C-alpha cells in the first residue's frame, strides 16, 4: 500500500518508504521443531539405531551442504547486486531462519556422523577410510571457525542493525558483504565435503 | 541513500576501532577444535595428551584475554551484550551438552574426558562472547 503525502501543486508525488518489517532475531515458532530434531538425535544415539543415525547424518548433512552451496553461489551473488534497501528487506526475513536452521543441521550432522563412523569402524586408525574421516573433521573444523567467527556474527549484526529506527546502510552493506564472502568460502569447503563423503560411501 | 537507512558517520559506534577481540576468540576456537581433531584422529588408541592439553591451555588463555578486553570496553552496550551472549550461551550449552553426552555414551573416561570436556567448555564460552561482542559493538552504548 502506498501512502502519498501532501505536496505543493505541481510537485511530483513520491511514494513514502514502506515501514521496515519487524525483525525477530530468533523465530520462536521454529524452536519446537529444533527441540523435536534434537530429541530425535538423542534417541538415535541412545538406541544405537543405525538407520536413525544414517537418517540424521544424510538428511542434515545433505541440507547443510546444499544450503551452503546455494547461499554461497546462487543467493549470495544475487543479494550482492541488490540495492541496500532490498538487501535489508530480504535479510530481515531470511537471516532469522538461518539463525535456527544452520546450527541445528550442523549439530545433527556432526553427532550422527561421529556415531556412524564409530559404529562402522571408519574412525579407527586401522580403517582404510581413517584418513578421509580425519580430512572431513579438518574441513568441518575450518568451516566451524569461519561460520561461527565471521558468518554468524555478521548475520546477527545485520539483524540487530535492522531493528534500529534508522539502520546504518553502510554498516549493513559491510556486514552483508562479509556474510556473502564467507558463505562463498564455506560453499567451496562444502565441495571438499562432497568429495570426501562420496569417497567414504563408495 | 533511501529514507530509513543512514550512512555511518565518522566517530559513530560503527566507525570506532576496538581491540582484536573477535580475532582472539576465533584463535581460541581454532585451538580447541584442533585439539579435539587431534585426539579423535588417534582413536581407538589413546593420543598423547600433551599437545591437546597445550592447545586447550592456549585456547583458554585466548578466551580469558578476550574476556578481559571486553570487560575493559567503555562505553559499551552492555545490556545488549548480555542479552545476546546469554541466549547464545543457552544455545551452545545445549550443543556442547549433546557432544558431551556422545563422549560419555561412547565410554570416554579419565583424563581424555577431562580434556575433551574442558575443550567443549572453552568452545561453549567462546561463541557467546564472540556473538555478544559482535552485536554490541555496533549498538549505541546509551541503548544498553
Q: For position A22, what pLDDT does the model report?
A: 65
Residue A134 near residue B37, CB atoms below 8 Å: yes
Average pLDDT, chain A: 84
- A-contacting residues in B 57-116 (Cβ below 8 Å): 80, 84, 87, 91, 94-95, 98-99, 101-102, 105-106
Counting residues of chain A whose pLDDT is more than 90, the rounded percentage is 32
Given a cut of 60, is residue A10 above it in pLDDT?
no
The one-character DSSP state at B5 is: -
pLDDT along chain B (144 residues), means of 10: 53 77 96 92 80 96 97 92 92 91 87 92 96 92 68
Kindly tell me the burial class for residue A90, based on how many C-beta atoms sit within 10 Å of its own C-beta (0-12, 13-18, 19 or more). Answer: middle
Interface mutation target, options B129, B134, B137, B143, chain A, most CBs of A under 10 Å: B134
Q: For position A19, what pLDDT does the model report?
A: 57
> Which of A132-151 are b and which e, b meaning 16 or more Cβ less than 10 Å from the residue's Cβ?
bbbbbbbbbbbbbbbbbbbb
Quick one: three-class SS letters along A104-172?
A: HHHHHHHHHHHHHHHHHCCCCCCCCCHHHHHHHHHHHHHHHHHHHHHHHHHHHHHHHHHCCCCCEHHHH
Q: Does pTM top 0.90 for this prediction?
A: no
Given a cut of 60, is residue A86 above it in pLDDT?
yes
Q: For position B9, what pLDDT does the model report?
A: 61
Q: For position A123, what pLDDT does the model report?
A: 85
Residue B43 near residue A125, CB atoms below 8 Å: yes
> Which residue bears the cell 562432497?
A194
CB-based contact B41 A88, cutoff 8 Å? no
B27 compared with A92, residue with greater pLDDT: B27
Residue B48 near residue B102, CB atoms below 8 Å: no
> How far is A51 from A44, CA to CA, in rounded Å?
8
Sequence length of chain B is 144
Q: For position A20, what pLDDT does the model report?
A: 57
Residue A43 near residue B27, CB atoms below 8 Å: no
CB-based contact B40 A167, cutoff 8 Å? no
| pLDDT class of A138 with cuts at 50, 70, 90 | very high
What is the average pLDDT across A143-153?
90
Q: For position A172, what pLDDT does the model report?
A: 85
A166 compared with B10, residue with greater pLDDT: A166
Q: For position A112, what pLDDT does the model report?
A: 94
B27 compared with A120, residue with greater pLDDT: B27
What is the average pLDDT across A111-127?
89
Instruction: Kindly report which listed range (A29-33, A55-59, A167-171, B83-87) carries the lowest average pLDDT score.
Output: A167-171
The one-character DSSP state at A94 is: H
Q: For position A200, what pLDDT does the model report?
A: 85
Among A80, A109, A78, smallest CA distance to A172 is for A80
Radius of gyration of chain A (CA): 21
Interface mutation target, options A83, A124, A168, chain B, most CBs of B under 10 Å: A168
Q: For position B63, what pLDDT does the model report?
A: 98
Q: Which residues in chain B have Cβ-Cβ distances shorter than 8 Å to A102?
A: none
Given a cut of 50, is residue A12 above it in pLDDT?
no
Amino acid at each position: 500500500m502506498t501512502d502519498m503525502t501532501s505536496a505543493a501543486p505541481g510537485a511530483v508525488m513520491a511514494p513514502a518508504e514502506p515501514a521496515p518489517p519487524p525483525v525477530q532475531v530468533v523465530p520462536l515458532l521454529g524452536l519446537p521443531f529444533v527441540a523435536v530434531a534434537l530429541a530425535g538425535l538423542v534417541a538415535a544415539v541412545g538406541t544405537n539405531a543405525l538407520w536413525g543415525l544414517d537418517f540424521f547424518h544424510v538428511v542434515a548433512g545433505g541440507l547443510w551442504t546444499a544450503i551452503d552451496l546455494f547461499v554461497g553461489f546462487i543467493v549470495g551473488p544475487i543479494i550482492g547486486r541488490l540495492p541496500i534497501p532490498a538487501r535489508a528487506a530480504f535479510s530481515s526475513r531470511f537471516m532469522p531462519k538461518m539463525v535456527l536452521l544452520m546450527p541445528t543441521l550442523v549439530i545433527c550432522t556432526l553427532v550422527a556422523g561421529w556415531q556412524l563412523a564409530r559404529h562402522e569402524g571408519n574412525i579407527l586408525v586401522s580403517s582404510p577410510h581413517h584418513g578421509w574421516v580425519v580430512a572431513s573433521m579438518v574441513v568441518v573444523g575450518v568451516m566451524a571457525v569461519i561460520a561461527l567467527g565471521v558468518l554468524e556474527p555478521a548475520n546477527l549484526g545485520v539483524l540487530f542493525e535492522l531493528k534500529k529506527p534508522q539502520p546504518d546502510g553502510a554498516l549493513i552493506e559491510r556486514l552483508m558483504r562479509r556474510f556473502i564472502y564467507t558463505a562463498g568460502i564455506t560453499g567451496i569447503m562444502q565441495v571438499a565435503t562432497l568429495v570426501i563423503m562420496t569417497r567414504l560411501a563408495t | 541513500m533511501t529514507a530509513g537507512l543512514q550512512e555511518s558517520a565518522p566517530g559513530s559506534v560503527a566507525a570506532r576501532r576496538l581491540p582484536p577481540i573477535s580475532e582472539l576468540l576465533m584463535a581460541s576456537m581454532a585451538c580447541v577444535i584442533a585439539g579435539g581433531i587431534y585426539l579423535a584422529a588417534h582413536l581407538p588408541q589413546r593420543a598423547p595428551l600433551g599437545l591437546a592439553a597445550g592447545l586447550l591451555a592456549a585456547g583458554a588463555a585466548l578466551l580469558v584475554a578476550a574476556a578481559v578486553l571486553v570487560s575493559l570496553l567503555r562505553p559499551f552496550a552492555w545490556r545488549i551484550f548480555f542479552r545476546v551472549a546469554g541466549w547464545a550461551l543457552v544455545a551452545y550449552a545445549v550443543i556442547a551438552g549433546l557432544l558431551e553426552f556422545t563422549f560419555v555414551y561412547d565410554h570416554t573416561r579419565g583424563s581424555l574426558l577431562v580434556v575433551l570436556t574442558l575443550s567443549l567448555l572453552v568452545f561453549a564460552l567462546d561463541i557467546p562472547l564472540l556473538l555478544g561482542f559482535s552485536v554490541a559493538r555496533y549498538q549505541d552504548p546509551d541503548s544498553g
